[in-house]
Amino acid sequence: MRSIICFIGVFLCLRTTASDSSAICEPKDVPGSRNDWIVLQEMSLGCWSNFTSQDGKEVHILKLLSSPENILTLLLPAANPSVLIITSSSALNILVYDNPAVNIYVKNGSSIRFFGKTGIPPQIQDAPFADSDSAVLKWAEETFGGVTSFTSARDPRNITFTGMKGAQRPSTCALQPETTADKQFIELNLKPPSDELKACYTKHSEEPLHVINIPDDVKIQNVSLHLPTKSKFFLRGPAGTVWVINNAKEIQLVSNNHIILNGMSVPLKETISDDPREIRQKVLLKFKGIPITSYSEIHLNVSHIQLWIRDTSSSVSTEVEHTTPAPSSSSVPIQMQLFSSPDYRLPLDPSSKVQSDKRVYVEITSESCGKIFSSINVRSCYVRPMQMVRKMQFEVEANNIRECPKRLSFSLEMLQDLPSSSWELECTVKLCDHSNRFCINETQVKRSFQVKPYISNQNPCFEFGLSAVLGIAFGGFLIGVLLTGALWFIKIRTAYEGRGGESSSNKPRDDFPLEIR
């Protein structure tokens, strides 16, 4: 009986262990929709070609998918002579760094507002086209003879035209899902996505098993997958989702959707709910209790996406790095300068060291401030050496000249006991108009400086200057003269009294009788 009870106990323990190893980990938000093992990227409709109009101009179409009342910066100085057609279904505010060789067109009655760098809005021309992509393309082709590029951008911060470079391009512009990284003539700085990818990862010794779940309320139609070799995948998506997998080797797949594997159609049909508990049961059934390595949920509500799943031990894929470039810094010129005194006259030399018991004075300015934007708002400031970050408490300094630039100061006392001497100050700022209704997106400005620890003496010594030394010497001289005079006076007085006593005692006394024996 005891052996039976022990057997049942061991069986239950093994079953519990197997159940725990096959459990789904708790997914967390992935900042920027990418980390060291998973990368999610939106694919938007677009195209580009080698078209140039008869007068030598390129024709570019920008479709802006932005939040209402968003502000973005459009930089055109480096663009080739071109026609730029901008469409948006939302009200936008665009700060334009103009180029006389670029003609800008918008739809009649558009809610897009343009601001110029010098305070004068650029010349904008109206166009009678509809909001659909096909209608815009048709109007551009009929008006200018063709289209050089069509680019969609969701929540852009900055758009920079760099000029067309010598790359192979098709002769016509046919819309298809794309990433903008291959378009060398344009750079997009987009707002980082939020809450669009949740994922978790647990390392196991067995062959990796990755679970990808797209809930039914997400309307994704096409997923382009890039997968590592020798792995197992459980792919679940809404009805109508197509998973496209290229260059896959030694993988096992289970899915409720249509799959195109290395160009071959694989109609795998499973009825799978988007409930994680049911997904776990299906995974246990299909893969015989193999522990789940990763679980991912995608909430990016677009029609086409790209997804990379990688082995964490491998280096970053060059393809991923190429198609998902890091956002560049803000294209609105914002400068930050450090000073050692509150008069803001002499900038602080980056190579000189500031004593940690002093204050550092900061001036943040921008070419656009005072023209388009009338104020600079500083949201926060941090200092960092290598991997250490400290939030700095700053004080806003008075500026009697004008609202711009923004002046502030902070103390270095909190850096006194830290090991590093080289620091970088990073402040988050926003440029706003006089009413603070229109502000550009937050941007970071940085500046490096050196800190020298302040060492206070426990036994302070007095420091004497030349005047103090001369004063002490003169005082000593006077004291010496006075002492010498006093001693001389005492000596003379004593000698005089001595001589007077001697003559009196040696003088013959007449009052004594003379006695002769």
pLDDT digits (tens, 9 = 90+) for 459-486: 555 555 667 777 888 888 889 888 888 8
pLDDT, position 462:
54
Residues 296 and 342 in one domain: no
User: Are residues 414 and 392 located together in one domain of the fold?
Assistant: yes
Q: Are residues 384 and 366 in the same domain?
A: yes
- Whether residues 109 and 79 share a domain: the answer is yes
351 lies in some domain: yes
Position with higher pLDDT, 375 vs 110: 110
The CATH number of residue 375's host domain is 2.60.40.4100
Across residues 17-45, what is the average pLDDT? 79
In a domain? residue 154: yes
pTM over 0.85: no
Same domain flag for 367 and 443 = yes
227 in a structural domain: yes
Cα separation, 472 vs 474, in Å, equals 6
Average confidence (pLDDT) over 445-455:
77
Instruction: Provide the percentage of residues in the chain whose pLDDT is more than 70.
Output: 75
Q: Would residue 286 count as lying in a domain?
A: yes
Q: Give the separation between CA 64 and CA 127, rounded to whole angstroms.
A: 16
Interatomic CA distance for residues 273 and 216, integer angstroms? 9
Whether residue 2 lies inside any domain: the answer is no
Nearest Cα residue to 299 out of 153, 154, 194, 177: 194
Last residue of a domain, one of 399, 423, 452: 452
Average pLDDT, stretch 491-502? 64
What is the predicted pLDDT for the residue at 400? 57
Residue 504 belongs to a domain: no
Q: Is the pLDDT assigned to residue 328 strictly greater than 50? A: no
Residues 382 and 312 occupy one common structural domain = no
Q: Are residues 225 and 277 part of one domain?
A: yes
- pLDDT of residue 440 exceeding 80, the answer is no
Of residues 139 and 502, more confidence is placed in 139
Distance, CA of 472 to CA of 478 (rounded, Å)? 10
Provide the residue type at 497 as one letter: E
Residues in the chain: 517
- Tell me whether residue 440 is in a domain: yes
Q: Is the separation of the CB atoms in 449 and 336 below 8 Å?
A: no
- Residues 127 and 83: their CA atoms lie apart, in Å, by 12
Number of domains in the chain: 3
User: Does residue 14 belong to any structural domain of this protein?
Assistant: no
Based on the fold, state whether residues 142 and 236 are members of the same structural domain: no
Same domain, 34 and 81: no
Instruction: Provide the pLDDT for residue 463.
Output: 56
Question: What pLDDT does residue 86 have?
Answer: 95
Select from 452, 477, 506 the last residue of a domain: 452
Say what the pLDDT of residue 162 is: 87
Top mean-pLDDT range of 159-173, 269-283, 457-471:
269-283
Domain that holds residue 346: 334-452
Q: Write down which residue in 293, 323, 353 finishes a domain.
A: 323
Q: Are residues 207 and 311 in the same domain?
A: yes
Q: Collapsing DSSP states into helix, strand and coil, what is residue 115? A: strand
- Asked if 223 and 168 sit in the same domain, the reply is no
Amino acid identity, position 386:
M
Per the prediction, the chain carries an average pLDDT of 78
What pLDDT score does 505 carry? 47
Specify whether 261 is located in the same domain as 289: yes
> What are the tens digits of pLDDT across the range 201-253?
988 777 899 999 999 999 898 999 999 888 899 999 999 999 999 888 889 99
Q: What SS3 string covers 275-316?
A: CHHHHHHHHHHHCCCCCCCEEEEECCCCCEEEEEECCCCCCC
